[in-house]
Amino acid sequence: MKEGEIKALYSTETLTYSPQKEIHLGQTMPNHDSVARAHSIMSALGQAGFVDIHISSVAGMPWIEQVHSADYLRFLRSTSNMSPGQEILPSFFPWTPDYIATIGEDEPGYYAYDTYTPVSRDTYRSSVASANCAVAGAQLLLEGEKSAYVLTRPPGHHALKDKMGGYCYFNNTAIAAQYLFDHGMRRVAILDIDAHHGNGTQQWAWDRPNVIFASIHGNPDANIYPYASGRADELGADPQNRNIYNFPLQPGVGERQYHNKVVRAIEAIKQFHPEVLLVSAGFDTHRDDPFKIFDLCTPYYQILGMKISKLGIPTLHIQEGGYNTETLGENVVAYLKGVTAKSGAEI
């Protein structure tokens, strides 16, 4: 790869996958994971001369099945039979063992934890295609690529073992990690730079001593989604052998405070001595993102990409959030320019 080039993988499913709505506090609104997000990234990658774009076609099912429960997979697969144009948002969430025993099997709400994440006849196919991209990206690392980028859409880091949430259905990052373990990797690091805590990825990493999960995100105690996880005192199943590093930040913070946490997250990863790094790369940290969590500007993503690549570990960059379709593509490009830069300034 020449300087400024990186293998970028996408599936054509992502160019048609188009969830319509979400419900926030009783208000129906357009779903944030618009198809325009994929177009924004694709066109910016093309314009910037990131020419080496491949279409992914790896069958990731064995690794999807290791990360998610059979019941959840059966439920998601069943949504493929929905009528064209039909879209469901769960409206009832069975929460006690009694409820689950009675209606859990048939109730979409059992497999969901919010009203932001709809299902339609396209959901399963697109989610499989997205996870396939992550697996294909991981395969590139095994083939000796120093870094790769995957345009995973739908995103993945909020997907739990048996529940969808936060626009996520399959945990693309956990699935890629599982694939890497099955192909001889022994220590995998995950850095989550989406503005929201990667609760699904943390759940998967929690009791895996050969995984380190480090995440920088909006403080859940400041009413930032997903509200119930991402605190600094979540250390993993064995606190003596810490493998979870959460760096919550107050909403509104800018680059200086953000970068301090990046430095600390990277320090933790370095000390873990991973063989490979997966970055859950969200760009909803940008100042113009509709979720308005942080105050980062586009050029900062280049510094961030450079800082991460200086770890010198084979790295797969996996797309997560980022919802301003005017800026998303250029933010991804700025980040990848940093990732692929051979040298340069660093803050």
User: Looking at the annotation, which residues are catalytic?
Assistant: 158
Residue 158 interacting partner from Zn ion, ligand SP5, none (CB closer than 5 to 8 Å by kind): ligand SP5
Residue 167 interacting partner from ligand SP5, Zn ion, none (CB closer than 5 to 8 Å by kind): ligand SP5
**Using CB atoms, what's the residue nearest to Zn ion?**
321
Q: 243 or 319, CB closer to ligand SP5?
A: 319
- As a whole number of angstroms, the distance between CA 267 and CA 42 comes to 32
Per-residue binding letters, 29-68, with ligand SP5 (x by CB under 6 A): ----------------------------------------
Asked whether position 167 contacts ligand SP5 by CB under 6 A, the answer is: yes
CB 262 within 8 A of CB 216: yes
Q: Applying CB under 6 A, which of residues 321, 329, 337, 339 lies at the interface with ligand SP5?
A: 321
- As a whole number of angstroms, the distance between CA 306 and CA 303 comes to 5
Asked whether position 118 contacts ligand SP5 by CB under 6 A, the answer is: no
**At 71, phi and psi to the nearest 5?**
-65, -45
Q: Applying CB under 5 A, which of residues 7, 163, 196, 337 lies at the interface with Zn ion?
A: 196
- As a whole number of angstroms, the distance between CA 110 and CA 237 comes to 25
Asked whether position 24 contacts ligand SP5 by CB under 6 A, the answer is: yes
| CB neighbours of residue 184 within 10 Å | 8
Q: 167 or 179, CB closer to Zn ion?
A: 167
Q: Applying CB under 5 A, which of residues 109, 236, 274, 282 lies at the interface with Zn ion?
A: 282
DSSP 81-150: GSPTT-EE-------SHHHHHHHGGG-GGGGBSSSS--EETTHHHHHHHHHHHHHHHHHHHHTT-SEEEE
- The position carrying tokens 């320090």 is 267
- As a whole number of angstroms, the distance between CA 103 and CA 322 comes to 35
- The count of residues in the chain is 347
| CB neighbours of residue 12 within 10 Å | 12
Tell how strand 27-30 and strand 21-24 pair up.
antiparallel
- 228 CB burial (10 A radius; 0-12, 13-18, 19+): exposed
Closest distance of CB 153 from ligand SP5, Å: 10
Residue 24 interacting partner from Zn ion, ligand SP5, none (CB closer than 5 to 8 Å by kind): ligand SP5
Q: Applying CB under 5 A, which of residues 114, 194, 289, 330 lies at the interface with Zn ion?
A: 194
Residue 225 interacting partner from Zn ion, ligand SP5, none (CB closer than 5 to 8 Å by kind): ligand SP5
**Using CB atoms, what's the residue nearest to ligand SP5?**
321
CB 182 within 8 A of CB 65: no
Asked whether position 166 contacts ligand SP5 by CB under 6 A, the answer is: yes
Residues in CB range of 248: below 8 A, 6 or more apart: 197, 217, 218, 219, 220, 221, 230, 231, 232
CB 248 within 8 A of CB 198: no
Asked whether position 192 contacts ligand SP5 by CB under 6 A, the answer is: no
Asked whether position 194 contacts ligand SP5 by CB under 6 A, the answer is: yes
Residue 60 interacting partner from ligand SP5, Zn ion, none (CB closer than 5 to 8 Å by kind): none
Q: Applying CB under 6 A, which of residues 13, 234, 320, 330 lies at the interface with ligand SP5?
A: 320
Scanning residues 280 to 319, which ones bind ligand SP5 (CB under 6 A)?
282, 284
Closest distance of CB 81 from ligand SP5, Å: 26
Of 95-103, 134-142, 160-168, 266-274: span binding ligand SP5 (CB under 6 A): 160-168
| CB neighbours of residue 93 within 10 Å | 16
Which residues make up the interface to ligand SP5 (CB under 6 A)? 24, 116, 155, 158, 166-168, 194, 196, 225, 282, 284, 320-321
